[in-house]
A = this chain, B = another copy of it.
Amino acid sequence: MSDRREFRDLASPEEAREAVDGLDIAPEPETVPLDAARDRVLAERIDAAIDVPGFDRASMDGYAVRARDTFGADEADPKTLSVAGVVHAGEEPDVTVEPGTAAEISTGAVLPPGADAVVMVERTTETDDGVDVRTAVAPGDHVMLAGADIAAGARALGPGTRLTAREIGLLSALGVDEVPVRGRPRVGILSTGDELVRPGDALDSAAGQIYDVNSYALATAVEEAGGDPVLYPHAGDDFDEMERLLREAADECDLVLSSGSTSASAVDVIYRVIEERGDLRLHGVAIKPGKPMLVGTIGDSAYVGLPGYPVSALTIFRTFVAPALRDAAGLPAPETAVVTGRMAVEERYGEGRRRLLPAGLVEDGAGTTLVYPVDKGSGATTSLVDADGFVDVPAGTDYLADGEAVEVTLFSPAVRPPTLLGMGEDDPLLSRLLDEIDRPRYLPVGTAEGLRRLGDGVPDLAVVAGPVDAEPDATDIGGWTREWGLVVTEASDVTSLSDLVDDSVRFVNRDGGSGLRRSLDDSLDALADERGVGRAALTEAIEGYELTAKAHESPARKVRNGDADAGLGLRATATKLGLGFVPLGTQSVRVLAAPDRREKPSVADFESILDDLEARTDGLDGFDPR
């Protein structure tokens, strides 16, 4: 397995940054129409090619006059001028203002020959003879002279200017309808690996297929960094096809990104293409997540190979590739936003690499920002959205202490931490209620783990289903009850818990930390008591008791798919999926607030939602406000 052999000699993050910065990915400038120029970057200076305005322009409604004809005029002693004509905006004056005359004029109209000022209409009175001017004006009053806004030949906008509505406005005024802008680096994206399927296509999980996360996520990240992504067809592990696509992408793009294949042979293909047509400049970087990384060239194109796991691929992209892309696109270095907080828990490390630790943020009751690590293990995609940024942990760090001050670099300055952080049991009514809160985050870690982390002081709320061993130090702010039992096929013969034990029923359980599992185990204890045996005697007789699923719908879905005969679940789920249901009981779901978070606005909002559940349980069978 050559990738293990090859990645032994890791480059430092600084070397990796230099290697990527040393690639030439700057595209040629291009010309775009003005209405497509938003957010583009000027490739060169724009000088005004015309005077703006192009003529001496009236800046008020009123009368164009010869200023000296008004000298001495005031409210008490107006000067009377005869009216020689009218000038509207957008027409060439057909009148000349001779001494003793005036021309009615609209804002924006051309000052007629002879006139050198405008008197505001408010300071005039129409008379039978013409117009009485009740104020004196100086030459140039209420007139914008030709070129006074910007004159032909003057510097209007410098190279490197990013075009917003304001700059587009100025370019419009100059009559510019085609704008020379920095090119957007064209970035080819190849995903390799036989296991990958494009979203929208059918997935064969039994054959180990997974959806291709990196293609669309990287394409979006490329756009965010000012590049123009091009998705190439998925090559699988067909090496000839992979080689052909690599060459094609290198011919067509400024930069080629590949990611995904974990197979040694795929890496060998990439090596061969790079060796034949370019050079390999760096191989592996000492950072976590992200170790596997290739930097080199293929023909005239730059090449960066990214790790396959999405969190790793996006981290390497963000850290090393995005800055180079922005630079090539002429965009300024992104604003980074750094938040200082305190570790909510201790975090220990067994390995020496520098680490970009994905982290979530939550504010405690005193307004202190708490930082908790988000790590669902290699390959998890939910950590993409469960984190707000990362803590840069230097190489050799053994641990971050509970309460230690750390800096979190947000994924973007626009990231705003969730207003409400909950952890605990998953539940369909809870999902609905969260929709009513602005930017909540809920981690469905189960009842037991939710309570543990509430005790650690991390979440605002824990959601607890069924009985608990020890009542936590927390405030019950509301809840509901839900009917639980066995979700079965419509035609099932299963009618009770005993059937699970006594008949040959393929069962799917929930994991140990869930409230549903706890209620099932309590019922099994009762049945064991009834029969005068130990619980183990019953659980060993249940086919699949050890086969657990992590979410409330999962066992029922296995039943619907024909992979099981009965699953632990909710009546609401059976109704939703059109399955049968064997009721075993009703359990309470309680929302517990951390004692110091009662005053958080989002907790108060959630409490008032919980106070009025009547209409919100509509369509959820077996759910009742308590």
Whole-angstrom distance from the CB of A473 to the nearest CB of chain B? 27
In the complex, are the beta carbons of B263 and A89 less than 8 A apart?
yes
What 1/0 flags go to A218-255 for Cβ under 8 Å of B? Answer: 11110110000001000011000000000000000000
Give the A interface residue count (CB, 8 A): 135
Whole-angstrom distance from the CB of A624 to the nearest CB of chain B? 21
In the complex, are the beta carbons of B170 and A385 less than 8 A apart?
yes
For residue A384, which residue of chain B has the nearest CB?
A: B166
Q: Contacting chain B: which of A127-135, A406-414, A521-529? A: A406-414
For residue A147, which residue of chain B has the nearest CB?
A: B550
Whole-angstrom distance from the CB of A575 to the nearest CB of chain B? 13
**Whole-angstrom CA separation of A435 from B45 in the bound complex:** 7
**Whole-angstrom CA separation of A109 from B195 in the bound complex:** 8
Does A476 make an interface contact (CB < 8 A)?
A: no
A216: contacting residue among B1, B169, B209, B219, CB under 8 A: B169
Chain B residues with CB under 8 A of A439: 158, 160
Chain B residues with CB under 8 A of A310: 169, 173
What 1/0 flags go to A542-571 for Cβ under 8 Å of B? Answer: 000000011111100100000000000000
Does A495 make an interface contact (CB < 8 A)?
A: no
Whole-angstrom distance from the CB of A183 to the nearest CB of chain B? 18
Does A282 make an interface contact (CB < 8 A)?
A: no
Chain B residues with CB under 8 A of A1: 61, 121
Does A107 make an interface contact (CB < 8 A)?
A: yes
**Whole-angstrom CA separation of A92 from B61 in the bound complex:** 81
In the complex, are the beta carbons of A169 and B61 less than 8 A apart?
no
The CB with the most chain B CB atoms within 10 A, among A4, A148, A440, is that of: A148
**A interface residues with partner B (beta carbon < 8 Å):** 1, 4, 34-35, 38, 45, 47-48, 50-55, 57, 59, 61, 87-92, 106-110, 121, 144-160, 162-178, 193-201, 203-221, 223-224, 231, 236-237, 262-263, 308, 310, 314, 332, 335, 376-382, 384-385, 411-414, 416, 426, 428, 431, 434-435, 438-440, 442, 444, 549-554, 557, 573
Given contacts A110-B206, A151-B549, A169-B310, 6 further A-B contacts (CB under 8 A): A4-B121, A91-B194, A92-B208, A107-B308, A150-B551, A153-B573
